[in-house]
Structure 1
Amino acid sequence: MTTACVGSPSAASATAGRYSVVLTRDRADIEAAQRLRYQVFSTEPGFTLGAFAAAIERDVDRFDTFCDHILVRDRVTGDAVGCYRLLPPEGARALGGPYTATEFDLDALAPILPGAVELGRACVHPDHRSGAVSALLWSGILRYLSMTDHSWLVGCVSVPMRSTPGERPGANVRAVRDVVSSRYAHDPRWQVRPHRPVRVDGRGLDEIEPAARAVLPPLLRAYLRIGARVCGEPAHDPEFGVADFVVLLGAHHADQRYLDRFLAATGAA
């Protein structure tokens, strides 16, 4: 199952109890990740997928081919239960820019993008969210950074425009924005600008009444705990029905306690 990754170090794999994790560009592994992404994204409250994804029951885009993929499988069933994709700088150059650039003006990040890996399409199967799968995914990311000598992680984190059917569109996005901008904002020099700012019925975020309590998605909480910070206002992604925030993490700024925890998941610490 483990295969060499084009444009990256040789693929690595590891096991931890019930699960195995692999870094790969193998077509079968990528398709397994795409099926898992479709299964998870199509059932998450507030997310929507297009007709093409529904027809093939896979979440696919043009970036997958240029990415290295981290895939966690259940060793008992063989099923894919967690995945991440990593776009190295050379892949971003071949594509004309990272995925994040389709939603944001990244001029402010130009000094660091040549050494940045873009994270994306993270998901864990609902039946495997005890923490072990996420720890394995992060251990794979950290090993990848170590092998490639890249020093920055950048990516988008999605917040549904409406987390529940009865929620006012954009209310939780506004609340999340207020929390991260006051407590987890990155250095002003790293602030990016969304191509499509969030608007609901002609109103910008500042005009939308925030929810009484901000509900941060688990992925965003994980990024913040490990030391990532948010780079400005979110962009509206109508295809998925979400608002996307850019997060940036310098490897030298990461919380060492969390690094040790994730590395220990595969016996690396």
Structure 2
Amino acid sequence: MQLTTATGYARALSPRLVVGMATTSHDVRAVQRLRYRVFVENLGLTALKRADGLDSDEFDEHCDHLVVRDVDSLKIVGTYRLLSPAGARRLGRVYSENEFDLGRLNGLRGRMVEAGRACVHPDYRGGSVLMMLWAGLLDYVRRQHCDYFVGCASISLADGGHNAVAVYDTLRRTHLAPAEYRVTPHLPFPHEKLEAARTAQVPPLLKGYLRSGAWICGEPAWDPDFDSADLFVLLPLANMDARYARHYGVEELAA
């Protein structure tokens, strides 16, 4: 079986899964149902609860939706919402601006893709789906002729926020962006008022970004709807380690 995007890019990755772009309104509704299942039914985010069982907002119609399918059932089991520079121009903003002042990044807007709403079906967790989404995301960035990927990486506050404090305290020492790329949260997460957990447990998605060369761009924002502390992440593709790029089959991104 091959990894295939809507543009025809293909590589063998998995005998059961295939990644590509949603191409129909039926696909988009399936994406929204999956997001609802994960965010509302599994994670209990009641602020997103809706009678139609869909997680949707005004951004969906302006975004491209990366999906991973089970080839036997054709069920969508993973997704990423991708906002291209053209989509951001139509909207007049990116989603992250709900949480952060991105004024210092104005010069990058024409060269950056924003990714968000990443989720994987509970029955398909374990690495393969996330790896395929990540590879598909990087291919999409390249095909948009962009140099940067941006997005919000969420850290659950289910433990009272102690792990979020530990993660931020660790990453600001090791992965903080240069000053010219710093952003400011509209609603800061009060990390200085909480005790850090003894060991920082970095979420898998954020860990993958950091291993690829991403930076965090300042203090976390508090997202009450998702019960999370969110870090704004910026990945210049020039930062990507060549060995890590080869792992995902996208060597050209590290060139």
Shared topology, TM-score over 0.5?
Answer: yes
Contact 1:13/1:22 (CA < 8 Å) preserved in 2?
Answer: no
Shift of 1:50: 2.5
Amino acid at match of 1:239: D
Shift of 1:102: 1.1
**1:27 equivalent in alignment to 2:18:** no
Q: Among residues 180, 184, 189, which one is paired with 1:193 in the alignment?
A: 184
CA distance in 1, matches of 2:118, 2:218: 21
CA distance in 2, matches of 1:159, 1:125: 19
Structure 1, unpaired ranges of 5+: 1-8, 199-203, 265-269
SS at 1:83 equivalent: strand
**1:141 equivalent in alignment to 2:127:** no
Instruction: Indicate the residue corresponding to 1:38 in structure 2.
Output: 36
Contact 2:6/2:20 (CA < 8 Å) preserved in 1?
Answer: no
CA distance in 1, matches of 2:24, 2:146: 23
Structure 2, unpaired ranges of 5+: 251-255
TM norm structure 1 = 0.85
Instruction: Indicate the residue corresponding to 1:66 in structure 2.
Output: 62
Contact 2:171/2:216 (CA < 8 Å) preserved in 1?
Answer: yes
TM norm structure 2 = 0.89
Shift of 1:11: 4.1
CA distance in 1, matches of 2:125, 2:168: 25
Contact 1:186/1:230 (CA < 8 Å) preserved in 2?
Answer: yes
1:37-87 Cα shifts (integer Å, max 9, x gaps): 111222555x61425x34222211111111111100001122111111110
Query: Aligned runs of 1:35-184 on 2, under 5 Å?
Result: 35-45=33-43, 48-50=45-47, 53-162=49-158, 167=159, 169-184=160-175
Contact 2:66/2:136 (CA < 8 Å) preserved in 1?
Answer: yes
CA distance in 1, matches of 2:226, 2:90: 25
**1:254 equivalent in alignment to 2:240:** yes
Structural RMSD (CA): 1.9
Q: Which has the higher contact order (CA 8 A, sep 6+)?
A: 1
Instruction: Indicate the residue corresponding to 1:18 in structure 2.
Output: 16
Contact 1:40/1:126 (CA < 8 Å) preserved in 2?
Answer: yes
Residues 140-149 or 112-121, more deviating: 140-149
Contact 1:135/1:261 (CA < 8 Å) preserved in 2?
Answer: no
Shift of 1:131: 2.1
Contact 2:221/2:230 (CA < 8 Å) preserved in 1?
Answer: yes
SS at 2:51 equivalent: helix
Contact 1:25/1:67 (CA < 8 Å) preserved in 2?
Answer: no
Distance 1:44 1:243, change over 3 A: farther
Distance 1:223 1:44, change over 3 A: farther
Report percent identity of matched pairs: 41
CA distance in 1, matches of 2:58, 2:144: 23
